[in-house]
Chains A and B, each alone.
Chain A
Amino acid sequence: MLGLNKNDTTLFVVIIILTILAPFLLNPFPTESTLAQFNAGYPDLMEKFVVFGIFAIGFNILFGLTGYLSFGHAAFLGVGSYSAVWIYKLFTYNVIPALILAVIVSGIFAVLIGYVSLRRSGIYFSILTLAFAQMSFALAYSVLSNPKFNLTNGETGLQIYANDLQLFHRESLPDFPHIFGLSMGSTYKLGVGPWEFQFNVAYYFCAIMMILSFYFAIRLFRSPFGMMLRAVKSNQQRLNYTGLNSRPYMLAAFVISGMYAGLAGGLLAVTDPLAGAERMQWTASGEVVLMTILGGAGTLIGPVLGAGFIKYFENIFSKINDQVLHQWFTFLPDGLENLLVAIVHPFIGKGWHLTLGILFMLVVIFLPGGLVEGGQRIARTARRLMRRDKAADASNVSAE
C-alpha cells in the first residue's frame, strides 16, 4: 500500500490508528480518580508527543542513517518557530503559510550550516554543529533583539501584539492560529460516564503532520537514497571509491533533517503562538538526541517512541510528589513506607532529569538499540520460552 511493503504498512496503519485514538488511549483513568494524574490525553501534552515525534524522526534521518551526531538541531527548531510567528505578526494567523515559511527558512539555515559542518566528520562535526547552534542561540537571545532591528525579541520571546500589522487578518477570523478559520485552540469535550475526552484541533493538525512526516521517513528509509546514507555510515571511503560523492548525500540528509526540525518548530508555534530563544539552546539539542537514542536510533518507530516516552515522563513524573508516593505505599508498614518514599524521592518531581540521565546512560551502555531493541529482546525471549513450553508439553504428551 502506498509503496510500502507489508511490515511497513502494518506499522504505518498502527501509527495512524494510535494517533487518531490517542485522546481515548491516553486517558484510561476517570477524571476524578486518583490515577487521573497519569492521564496524558490532554491537548497540551499530546501535541508535544507528536511535535517532538516529528523533531526526532527528522533527527533520526541524519543520525540513525548516517551516524553523524548533530548537537545543534535545536537551532532549526527555533528558526522554524520564529519564522512561523513572523508570518502571524506580518500577515495572518493562518498556519499553512506559517509552516511553509518555517520549513523553507530552516531548510536554508540547514544548507548553510550543513555545508560548513559537513566538511568534517566524527566529533568535529558534533562540535561544529554545537558551535553553530550556540551561536544562533546567542544571536537570538541578545544580538537580534536590539531596538533598531528586533527580530527575536530576546529574553521575552517573540509574540503577537495588538498593534502588529497582520495584513490579512479579519475580524471574523479567530485571534489564534487557525486553519482557514478553524481555530487551533478549539477543543471538543466528550463526557462518557466518569471519563472526559478532549479532541483538540491543534492536536489533530499536528498528528496529521506527524503521520505525513512518518510516511515520508519510511519511504526515505526504504529508498535507494536511504541505502546510500546507510552506506555512508558503514564505510564512507568505499562509497567514494565506488564512484559516489558522499558529500551531497550527507548535505541532503542534513537539510531534510533540518526541515523536519523546522516543521516541528513551526508546529510549536501552531499550538502556542510564541517563540523563544531557549528553544535553540544546546540542552534542547541534547533532548532530541536523548529521545532518538532512548527510542532506538536507526529504527523507524524508535524516535517517536523516545519522544513520547520522554515527554510523558517529563510531564507526569515531574508532577509526582511525596504525598502521592505516600498514597501509593500506604499499604506498607509506616517505617518501610517512609524509607521507600525517601529512596524514590530524589528521582521524582524536580528530580526527573536525574532519572532521565541515569536511564539514558543505561540505554547507551546496555541497550544501544534503545527501547525498540529492548522490546525485540523481550519478544525473542518470550517466543523462546513459549517454544520451550510447547516442546515440554509435546514431550509430556508423548510420555503419556
Chain B
Amino acid sequence: MAILEVKGVNKNFGGLAALSDVNLSVQEDTVHAIIGPNGAGKSTLLNCLVGKLMPDSGSVMFDGQSVLGRKPHEINQMGISRVFQTPEIFGDLTVLENIMIPCFAKRDGAFRMHAFEQFAHETELIDKSDAILADVSMAGQRDAHAASLSRGDKRRLEMAMCLVQEPRLLLLDEPTAGMARADTNNTIDLLKEINSKRHITMVIIEHDMHVVFSLAERITVLAQGTPLVEDTPDNIKGNPKVQEAYLGESQN
C-alpha cells in the first residue's frame, strides 16, 4: 500500500511555479528515487513533505494522515525522518549525545521536562545508541565532538540519528553529494541494508545515476516542477522522454 501519497501539489514562489500539479505515490518498504535536472523542484517537494514549506494547494498524506500545516517536529513524530544535503548535526555535542537526542524524542515525545534526571541513568537508550553506532561503524568515535568529524562521518552520524528513531519513512536529500566513489559505494550498501533489514521506506533525491540505479525500485522523473514519468529503473533507462529531458541533457 502507499505510505506516502502526494496529490496535486502546487507551489509558487512569487509567480514562479516551483511545483505544479505534482502527484507521487510511494509504496511501503520500497526505495523510491526522485530525479530531475537542477531546478526541477526536487528540494522544494522534499521541503513540502517535512513541513518546512507549505504548498499552495494539494494534499500530502502520510499513512492516511495529512502532514500539511504540521510543524517539522510533529511530522517527525509521525514517523518521517530526513537526511539533509549537507549534514545537519549537533556540532557542539558528542557523537553519543547526537544519537541520544533522537532516542529521547522517540521515547518521550516532543517535549519532556527531564531537568533533574540523570543522563548516565538512561542505560537503555545509551545501549541502543551504542548499538546503532556499531552498525554504522562509528563506535570508536563515540565521545568525539561531532564538529570534529570528517564529512563522511558526519553524514553517517546523521544517518544513524535518523535510523535510531526507527522511522517509517526516510527522506534523503542527495546522500552521496561530494563523496568519493568508495564512500558512495559504502553508503549504497548501508542504505540497501537499512531497507532490507529494517524495512524503512525511503525517498531519495539524487544526481548520481549510479546511486539511483543501484538502489531505487521506483523512479519519478521531475522536470520543471511536474512529474514527467514514474516507472521502474529499467523502463526509465529506456524511456526516450526521460533521455530527452534529463539523461540526454546530462550526457551532452
Binding site for B on A (CB under 8 A): 3, 5, 216, 219-220, 222-228, 230-231, 233-235, 237-246, 248-249, 252, 256
Contacts and interface: CB of A to CB of B under 8 A. Distances in A.
A132 B97 CA distance: 35
Contacts of A256: 115
B120 A244 contact: no
B119 A222 contact: yes
Nearest to A222: B119
> What 8 pairs across the A-B complex have the smallest Cβ distances?
A243-B76, A243-B105, A245-B110, A225-B115, A234-B92, A234-B90, A248-B111, A238-B88
B91 A234 contact: yes
Interface in B89-137: 89-93, 97, 100-102, 104-106, 109-111, 113-120, 122
B161 A224 contact: no
Contacts of A237: 88
Contact of A235 (B76, B90, B106, B111): B90
Contacts of B115: 219-220, 223, 225-226, 252, 256
Which interface residue of A224, A233, A256 has the most chain B CB atoms within 10 A?
A: A224
Interface string B163-203: 00100000000000000000000000000000000000000
Given A238-B88, A241-B50, A241-B72, A223 B114 contact: yes
B120 A219 contact: no
B71 interface: yes
A245 B73 contact: yes
Interface string B131-164: 0000000000000000000000000000001000
A161 to B, nearest CB: 41
B33 to A, nearest CB: 21
Contacts of B71: 240, 245
A243 B122 contact: no
Nearest to B97: A227
B70 to A, nearest CB: 11
Contacts of A220: 115-116
Given A244-B104, A244-B110, A5 B90 contact: no
Contacts of B77: 243
Nearest to A233: B92
A159 B11 CA distance: 62
Nearest to B164: A242
B32 interface: no
A237 B72 CA distance: 9
Contact of B73 (A219, A223, A231, A244): A244
B42 interface: no
Contacts of B114: 223-225
B118 A241 contact: no
B117 A243 contact: no
Which interface residue of B88, B101, B165 has the most chain A CB atoms within 10 A?
A: B101
Contacts of A249: 111
A243 B116 contact: no
A210 B36 CA distance: 61
Given A227-B93, A227-B119, 14 more contacts: A219-B115, A224-B119, A226-B115, A227-B100, A228-B101, A242-B76, A242-B102, A242-B105, A243-B76, A244-B73, A245-B71, A245-B111, A246-B73, A248-B110
Nearest to B91: A234
Nearest to B109: A243
A240 B72 contact: yes
Given A227-B100, A242-B105, A245-B73, A219 B116 contact: yes
A247 to B, nearest CB: 8
A243 B82 contact: no
Given A219-B115, A220-B116, A227-B100, A243 B92 contact: no
A299 B172 CA distance: 37
A245 B72 CA distance: 9
5 contacts: A219-B116, A222-B118, A242-B161, A242-B165, A244-B111
A246 B71 CA distance: 11
Nearest to B120: A5
Which interface residue of A235, A237, A238 has the most chain B CB atoms within 10 A?
A: A238
B92 A241 contact: no
A244 B101 contact: yes
B120 A242 contact: no
Contacts of B117: 223-225
Contacts of B104: 224, 228, 244
Nearest to B102: A242
B73 A243 contact: yes
Contact of B118 (A3, A235, A245, A246): A3
A241 B120 CA distance: 25
B106 A243 contact: yes
A240 B73 contact: yes
Contacts of A248: 110-111
B83 to A, nearest CB: 10
Contacts of A241: 50, 72-73, 76, 81-82, 88
A224 B90 contact: no
Interface string B221-246: 00000000000000000000000000
B118 A244 contact: no
Nearest to B117: A223
Contacts of A227: 93, 97, 100-101, 119
A141 to B, nearest CB: 35
A317 to B, nearest CB: 35
B101 A235 contact: no
Contacts of B101: 227-228, 231, 239, 242, 244
Which interface residue of A227, A243, A252 has the most chain B CB atoms within 10 A?
A: A243
